[in-house]
Amino acid sequence: MLKQSSDLREKLHSIDRKGYSAYKSLHGSYAWGQYTLHVDHVQSDPFAPPSRMRVRVDQKLAGLPVELYANKTRKVAVEDFLTRQFASAIGQKAGNKKGSGKSGVFDIDRCGQEILERTAMVVNEDYVEARFVIGLPAKGRTVMAKEAASMFFDVLPQVVNMSLMYQNLDVQRLKKHVEIAEDQDFMRLELAKRGLETFIGNGAILPRESGICDRPLKDEKVVPFRSPQELEVSFKLPNSGTVTGMGITSGVTLIVGGGYHGKSTLLRAIERGVYNHIPGDGREMVVTNEGAVKIRAEDGRSVTKVDISAFISELPYEQDTSVFSSDNASGSTSQAANIVEALEVGSDLLLLDEDTSATNFMIRDGRMQLLVAKENEPITPFIDRVCELSDRFGVSTILVVGGSGDYFEVADRVIMMHKYSPRDVTTEAKGIAESHQSERTAEVKCQLTAVRKRAPKPQSFKLDPKGKVKAKGLNNIIFGRVDIDLTQVEQLVDSSQTNAIAEILRYCAIQYVDGERQISEIIDKVLDDINTKELDVISPFRGQHPGDIALPRKHEIAAAFNRFRKLRIVQV
């Protein structure tokens, strides 16, 4: 039943100075003139997570032009922009937190440098809806009704007016936000048509403020990106005209150069190019094949029945690497598993950095081959598989190399970073490879075969009656009593994506894990559900307040499956 805002005021007045549980009476929906307020969940205690609420503004009042959300890309961008505006308005109007615990907290899902599909904001032809949280004020555990009334009747109307009404928005900024996202998606679709894996636009700013801050570095010494002439390509964009920059074609690409000259900075920008970026980020014109996966060594991770025999075989004690499992994988076995798992869910571009790879997995030089005979070495190094991955399976590689010139022989192109500027040095590298013959020999015993698929067993995800599934920040998920560590999953960029992965694991366990469906098939099915029923479908608060979920890629979802230590597998 829809109540009036006056009913909420009266309720607040009647519960002033009562015990905190009296706030429960606020649950319900209230007409508020320009919008409807839905109080979906009231926290049980001032120290509990804040209360979940929504405001819905009829599109006749919000006034967003239909062309701004006419397709999926535009809709996601508009919702992203409004979420940021809502957060900004809170910062301007909410003031300081007052009271005990979470009292006075007023917040909405916080966006980073990427434009992600989120549940915090919904825009359609009927309405605009913001999902947010409010910490209902208390002194100790006593209701502070006057402070709560101020949040509902003074602060919230101003926030809604500033952020959800088209007439009060910076229309040009909104339009640019939408158009830049559309341009990025357009380029990403064009990559495959041109045989490209990634594009870095001239003028892009790739360095970040710090290792813990993803905003662009603003320093007079920052060098804007400029493509070598030999690698320049151009795109005519739907909104921004023609953009020119460096295109990296399919195959095997090396990024070389001295230390601190920008090799890893370039690779990190390429990694993040699977996402759209906001205007002013510096990487708006950096786009990458959406199937790109960063591969690294990951000592200590769990691995469950992965066929890594193409890279590692004949381990001591006759351990079968075609069904390799470990609770504490080494650098080389974890890196092999990471590659196979990426291929299992359809990755066709591998991104590697020598600095985060296992040296013995990447290469064995000639001298080591003379000392340790091949029959005593179970590893087939990546250098001896990288061309086969490209030629036979269509899987490209972009690899940062600082110390292994043997890779010149297998590379299709070599890009040198010098003082943050790229040069095409493919001809020189090939000349060096020809004039300085390597002492090593290839160590391939057999051809690569298709990746063997794996089906999770339902008992893997069985929870105790009181078992919980929840995310903890960006890097951890608790599933029952098991901690899933995603610290080394480098293309996971937002804690709300981690929230989504936690809910996807729960959803998959109920809907699709049956012991027969493969991991890739399960993930595709849930992503199809999200595409047809929207992101709310995975939330336990569906129809109420799933406001802290952002869409992850299938590759990060698969990473969570594969790092779940209770995972039980049937190899297909």
Give pLDDT tens digits for 453-507: 999 999 999 988 888 999 999 999 999 999 999 999 999 999 999 999 999 999 9
Sign of CA dihedral 533, 534, 536, 539: positive
How far apart, in whole angstroms, are the C-alpha atoms of residue 522 and residue 569?
Answer: 13
pLDDT per position as a tens digit, 195-237? 999 999 999 999 999 988 999 999 888 999 999 999 999 999 9
Question: How, if at all, do strands 36-41 and 51-58 pair?
Answer: antiparallel
Are 560 and 484 in contact by the 8 Å Cβ rule? The answer is yes
Output Rg (C-alpha) for the chain, integer angstroms. 26
How confident is the model at residue 375, as a pLDDT?
84
User: Of 565, 567, 560, 562, which is closest to residue 498 (Cα–Cα)?
Assistant: 560
* Contact residues for 28 (Cβ-Cβ < 8 A; gap 6+): 1, 3, 38, 39
Sign of CA dihedral 207, 213, 216, 220: negative
The token pair that represents 85 in the structure block: 């505006």
Residue 4: phi and psi, rounded to 5, are: -105, 160
Are 107 and 131 in contact by the 8 Å Cβ rule? The answer is no
The token pair that represents 208 in the structure block: 């970040």
Q: Is 471 exposed, middle or buried (0-12, 13-18, 19+ CB in 10 A)?
A: buried
Residue 357: phi and psi, rounded to 5, are: -110, 155
User: Of 168, 153, 169, 147, which is closest to residue 35 (Cα–Cα)?
Assistant: 153
What is the rounded average pLDDT of the residues 260-267? 96
Are 534 and 498 in contact by the 8 Å Cβ rule? The answer is no
pTM, entire model: 0.96
pLDDT per position as a tens digit, 306-341? 999 999 998 887 789 999 999 999 999 999 999 999
How confident is the model at residue 95, as a pLDDT?
80
Are 188 and 263 in contact by the 8 Å Cβ rule? The answer is no
* Contact residues for 465 (Cβ-Cβ < 8 A; gap 6+): none
Q: Work out the end-to-end distance of the chain between its first and last CA atoms, rounded to an integer number of angstroms.
A: 52
Determine which helix (DSSP H) or strand (DSSP E) holds 571, and give its type and residue range: strand 569-571
Question: How, if at all, do strands 303-306 and 276-277 pair?
Answer: unpaired
- Percent of the chain scoring above 90 in pLDDT: 88
pLDDT per position as a tens digit, 436-446? 988 888 888 77
> How many of the other CB atoms lie within 10 Å of CB of 140?
12
How far apart, in whole angstroms, are the C-alpha atoms of residue 336 and residue 297?
Answer: 8
> How many of the other CB atoms lie within 10 Å of CB of 63?
15
Question: How, if at all, do strands 396-400 and 196-201 pair?
Answer: unpaired
**Torsion, Cα of 527, 530, 531, 534 (10° steps):** -160
pLDDT of residue 61 exceeding 70, the answer is: yes
What is the 3-state secondary structure of 441-466?
CCCCCCCCCCCCCEEECHHHHCCCCC
pLDDT of residue 18 exceeding 80, the answer is: yes
* Contact residues for 98 (Cβ-Cβ < 8 A; gap 6+): 104, 137, 144, 147
Lowest average pLDDT, out of 74-78, 530-534, 550-554, goes to: 530-534
Under DSSP, the state recorded for 50 is P
Lowest average pLDDT, out of 45-59, 76-90, 336-350, 358-372, goes to: 358-372
Residue 74: phi and psi, rounded to 5, are: -65, -40
Helix pair angle (554-562, 495-511), 10° resolution: 70
pLDDT of residue 96 exceeding 80, the answer is: no
How far apart, in whole angstroms, are the C-alpha atoms of residue 207 and residue 222?
Answer: 8
CA distances from 480 to 23, 303, 470, 505, 565 (A): 31, 19, 9, 11, 11
User: Of 143, 166, 156, which is closest to residue 78 (Cα–Cα)?
Assistant: 166
Lowest average pLDDT, out of 49-53, 271-275, 544-548, goes to: 544-548
pLDDT of residue 67 exceeding 80, the answer is: yes
How far apart, in whole angstroms, are the C-alpha atoms of residue 528 and residue 540?
Answer: 18
153-158, long-range: CB < 8 A, 24+ apart:
153/5, 153/9, 155/93, 155/94, 155/95, 155/106, 156/37, 156/55, 157/32, 157/34, 158/89, 158/93
Mean pLDDT, the chain, rounded, equals 95
